[in-house]
Amino acid sequence: MTTMTSKLKYCLLSAATAALLIGCGGTTTTPTPDITLPAGVTLVEKSGKSGNVSIPFEKYEMPNGLTVVLHEDKSDPLVHVDVTYHVGSGREDIGKSGFAHFFEHMMFQGSENVADEQHFKLITEVGGTLNGTTNSDRTNYFQTVPSNQLEKMLWLEADRMGFLLDAVTQEKFEVQRETVKNERGQRVDNRPYGLLGERVGEAMFPEGHPYSWSVIGYLVDLDRATLDDLKKFFLRWYGPNNAVLTIGGDIDKQETLEMINKYFGSIPRGPEVTDPEYVPVTLDTDRYISLEDNVSLPLVYMSWPTVYANHPDEAPLDVLMSIMGDGKTSLLYKNLEKEGLAVNAVAGHGCREISCQFTMYALPNPAKGASLADLEKAMRDALVEFETRGAQPDDLERVKAGIVSGMIYGLESVSGKVSQLAAYETYRDTPDGIMDDIKRYESVTAADVMRVYNQYLKDKPAVIMSIVPKGQGDKIAAPDTWERYERTIPENTDTSNFNWTLPVDDFDRSVVPPSGENPSVVVPPVYTTSLDNGIEVLGSVNDEVPTTTIQLQLKMGQSHDPMDKLGLATNLAQYLNDAGTQSSTAEELSNRLDKLGSFISFSSGDDYTTMYMRTLTKNLDETMDIAMEKLTQPKFSQDDFDRLKSQTIEGIKQSKKDAGSLAWGAFNRLMYGDNNPIAWSGSGTLKTVNNTTLSDYEAFYQAHYSPSIASVITVSDLGEAAVKKALSPLGNWSGGEVATAADKPYPALETGTLYFIDKDNAAQSEIRIGRRALPYDATGEYYRAGLMNYVLGGAFNSRINLNLREDKGYTYGARSRFSGSEKRGTYVASAGVKKDKTAESIVEFVNEMNTFYGSGITDEELAFTKSAIGQRDARAYETPRQKLGFLSRMMNYDLTPEFVDTQNAILRNMTKEDVDTLAKKYVNPADMIMVVVGDKDAIFDDVKALGYRMVELDVDGNVIK
């Protein structure tokens, strides 16, 4: 890769020394353009700070009010384009909740010159990725594409900004209304504790306050909405003068501004927009509310109104939040989790544009018998304890280090930098906010933290919500003192007509801009070395940010679990995350890591256990010391074991309440058999977890944590020699040989069988249709099969997703994919669908697969596949995490970098006959099984009428006799 010309500027910040940080400061230069600006375009601001954590940028304003922010970054052949509109659910009217999010969906449905489904297709077929998000305060649309596609992206974004409404039809409106309702079902109504935020918002804010409803809105409001309502919402808020266009990456500023002027210049200003007004939120007394939900474990949640985003007191309140409930150094951890009263206890301080909320919540540990009232008291007692101890120097150092490191980690991708610039501009009217953020946290004092505690929390009323399992209303923390009100919906008196005219141009917008010259994509250079004990190291240099990422891989995992102690590998890895060592307590380790701004985690999958480490490079040696201590000196404590065991058991119980977890659990057991450890949840079962002892953990650790099965992959701004030196402690690690896990036979699939699991009152049904398939092979049939599936179920605009989501509105998303490891693989189609469309969704899945099985791919689809996959390498190696994934594939499957060239040749030469042959081999539904999880009373008869052999399973996956 080429050297980054606008490389992230930084100084080696010491979070303990604010003076050092502030001494790095600079000032913004006089905005003098270094290019010829299009007529009417003004340079407003230009970054000129040096020696700080900052992102070079230029900010321009167009005559129609559109704000443009450009960031030039030549490190990778890609661009990221973000359009942020300063409109979220907080701009909605009473009774019209969900409009901002609804319009996020509508903006992808085509415009005057962009056909239905063409937006996704145009971006996907050039190897790009795209999405949109909505929150209370803004909606943004973004895409990352190869750099030669910039003009096409500007054409697309301009067309939906200025030429959308005539293309918004009633049919599109109805389909997307159903899609949004499906999304609510999946993310809110069908998810344990999913209604928490909505109910707390109702109780926290007065009726009519823009945060008194959720971003996704109420179903009744979505049902009430009309197409005219939605169009008027667009005309009010989506003008260029309420938008920020931010572009980062491999761009030419002169050419980019000229293209922006061409495509956006004729779009007229919208109505003038002012910033929303902050009105302090106050509660007259504690408001207790409760809900019975389909959960296994009760929860108590406390929330106080505080300030608003970017208020001077936000930073000290964030420090207070960290002291109270962020990690193992917090008071909630010490008093609730460590003592075993709670399986989880956390604090937060969520801030939005016109209001913040300080929150604490806890879930009780049934083994200790604590009630929600007990937990509420324990949380209140923790606040009282803070009054005595105050904010300690370590507290301030931890939070400040986290802010600095978080800023740097967030700048590892061009999308991260663009997102930062866009957010700062939207909320602060300047893109240059990183240093201001760092300085405001660096300036927080212990006195500030105590002051905000006294001002916003001490003896102040809160909303306290209890969520309890259905039928257990007697377990709430306290009787309700506040009731949900019947909303007063104003009469719609707006009878105005649209004043909508298309902008006038001197060029033909219907012509899709051509692609520029294809950029050159270079696979990251890699090096190989080994440590003194034989551990292989595969590394790559990434000199764009001062960070180092290391992943130690042990070739063992869940496949090594004894059947009577399932969960051993996964739960031991979690134990190493959370427990102390022979030399340090867990709290001491957490404190040391937090003050470095570093992160270490252990995890385990089917075949590999990993230790992942991320740090600022200046702190690499200290972080490596902590990693080695956690890896080689764990302390096997009965107290830690008992605490984590309780958490694991409650997690397993909760998974039985989640339809998606039930579907995947049953599917995997049917694929791999009850006598195979990889068929089961990584956490194990209630029986096997209860059957596992602390001595089992210690024995498994001694038998399996060894350098003999270890390898290392790393990405750093350091060169090979410096990295090898930093890794030398790993080279001193010793251990014996580790036995290979025994291969277990797989059961015969009862193809054509539909397995059904009842989930009472499920808002949606979960569907899985699949079979065993291929183990991973980067250049063999596995890779070719993935190419075959791309247009069937791999891409957003695949046949399956377009049918079930875009055409019929049955689901928020449907897909199919091959997944494989060294020895096994599956092919599965999946979706969460509307309850009343479960049977119809199964029919559509099967129809699409049968059609593809019978007729194969079209010439157009084959060309689309080759174009989309052939160009996506431009964004494949940008970040350290992406490079780490590339190195991991090489290490785990013994590949050389040339495997990428082989894949490209396979893709280039693939024919329709090749694809059709693979479709005949792998996508015949007759060779598959089905798993459906849903509300039996509502859907069973319809599903049974489809004619499949039916087998009912319980929530543990056992056949119901």
Tell which phi-psi region holds residue 136, choosing left (phi > 0), alpha (psi between -120 and 50) or beta.
Answer: alpha
User: 908-952, pLDDT tens digit by residue?
Assistant: 999 999 999 999 999 999 999 999 999 999 999 999 999 999 999
Neighbours of 611 (CB within 10 A): 24
Identify whether 282 is part of a domain: no
Please check whether residues 539 and 641 belong to one and the same domain: yes
Identify whether 646 is part of a domain: yes
Identify whether 738 is part of a domain: no
Name the H helices within 392-445.
393-409, 414-428, 434-442
pLDDT over 90 at 27, yes or no: no
Structure tokens at 539: 């590394």
Confidence of residue 12 (pLDDT cuts 50, 70, 90): very low
State the Cα–Cα distance between residues 452 and 321, nearest whole angstrom: 11
pLDDT of residue 814: 96
Confidence of residue 30 (pLDDT cuts 50, 70, 90): low
Mean pLDDT of 679-704: 96
Higher pLDDT, 117 or 385: 385
Strands across the sheet with 42-46, in order? Answer: 42-46, 58-61, 67-72, 243-249, 78-85, 139-146, 129-134
pLDDT over 80 at 528, yes or no: yes
pLDDT of residue 7: 34
Percent with pLDDT over 70 in the chain? 96
Mean pLDDT of 186-211: 92
Mean pLDDT of 586-599: 94
User: 248-290, pLDDT tens digit by residue?
Assistant: 999 999 999 999 999 999 999 999 999 998 989 999 999 999 9
Please check whether residues 794 and 710 belong to one and the same domain: no
User: 743-782, pLDDT tens digit by residue?
Assistant: 999 999 999 999 999 998 888 999 999 999 999 999 999 9
Mean pLDDT of 209-216: 94
Note the maximum CA span of the chain: 80
Name the H helices within 168-326.
170-184, 196-204, 219-224, 227-237, 253-264, 314-325
Please check whether residues 709 and 759 belong to one and the same domain: no
pLDDT over 60 at 9, yes or no: no
- With contact defined as beta carbons under 8 Å apart, do 700 and 569 qualify? yes
Identify whether 961 is part of a domain: no
Mean pLDDT of 13-25: 32
Identify whether 7 is part of a domain: no
Mean pLDDT of 81-103: 94
pTM over 0.85: yes
Nearest to 285 by CA among 106, 464, 537, 469: 464
- What single-letter amino acid sits at 93? D
Identify whether 487 is part of a domain: no
What angle, rounded to 10 degrees, do the helices at 912-922 and 781-789 form? 90
Please check whether residues 798 and 694 belong to one and the same domain: no
pLDDT of residue 67: 98
User: 886-919, pLDDT tens digit by residue?
Assistant: 999 999 999 999 999 999 999 999 999 999 999 9
Structure tokens at 42: 């003004």
Identify whether 397 is part of a domain: yes
Confidence of residue 14 (pLDDT cuts 50, 70, 90): very low
What CATH number does the domain containing 893 carry?
Answer: 3.30.830.10
Which residues partner with 756 through β-bridges?
932, 952
State the Cα–Cα distance between residues 111 and 158, nearest whole angstrom: 10
pLDDT of residue 189: 85
DSSP 732: T
Q: What is the dihedral of CA 613, 619, 620, 621, to 10 degrees?
A: -120
> Of 230, 264, 298, at which residue does a domain stop?
264
Identify whether 181 is part of a domain: yes
pLDDT of residue 874: 80
Please check whether residues 805 and 761 belong to one and the same domain: yes
pLDDT of residue 500: 73
Please check whether residues 251 and 324 belong to one and the same domain: no
Q: What stretches of 709-760 adopt beta strand conformation (E)?
A: 710-716, 753-758
Sign of the C-alpha dihedral computed for residues 332, 334, 336 and 342 taken in this order:
positive
Helix (H, G, I), strand (E, B) or coil at 158: helix
pLDDT over 90 at 33, yes or no: no
State the Cα–Cα distance between residues 302 and 288, nearest whole angstrom: 9
pLDDT over 90 at 48, yes or no: no
Confidence of residue 640 (pLDDT cuts 50, 70, 90): very high
**Structural domain for 634, as ranges:** 527-731
Q: What is the dihedral of CA 901, 905, 906, 911, to 10 degrees?
A: 160
State the Cα–Cα distance between residues 480 and 477, nearest whole angstrom: 9
pLDDT of residue 544: 86
Name the H helices within 832-935.
838-855, 859-871, 880-892, 899-909, 912-922
Please check whether residues 869 and 912 belong to one and the same domain: yes
pLDDT over 90 at 517, yes or no: no
The DSSP string of 543-555 is TTSSEEEEEEEES
Confidence of residue 32 (pLDDT cuts 50, 70, 90): confident
DSSP 275: P
Tell which phi-psi region holds residue 824, choosing left (phi > 0), alpha (psi between -120 and 50) or beta.
Answer: beta
Please check whether residues 301 and 363 belong to one and the same domain: yes
Please check whether residues 832 and 870 belong to one and the same domain: yes
Please tell me the least confidently modeled range out of 295-304, 308-317, 395-404, 498-507: 498-507
Please check whether residues 597 and 692 belong to one and the same domain: yes
The count of domains in the chain is 4
State the Cα–Cα distance between residues 442 and 21, nearest whole angstrom: 8
Please check whether residues 760 and 727 belong to one and the same domain: no
Percent with pLDDT over 90 in the chain? 79
The mean of the pLDDT values for the chain is: 92
Please check whether residues 706 and 850 belong to one and the same domain: no
pLDDT of residue 492: 77
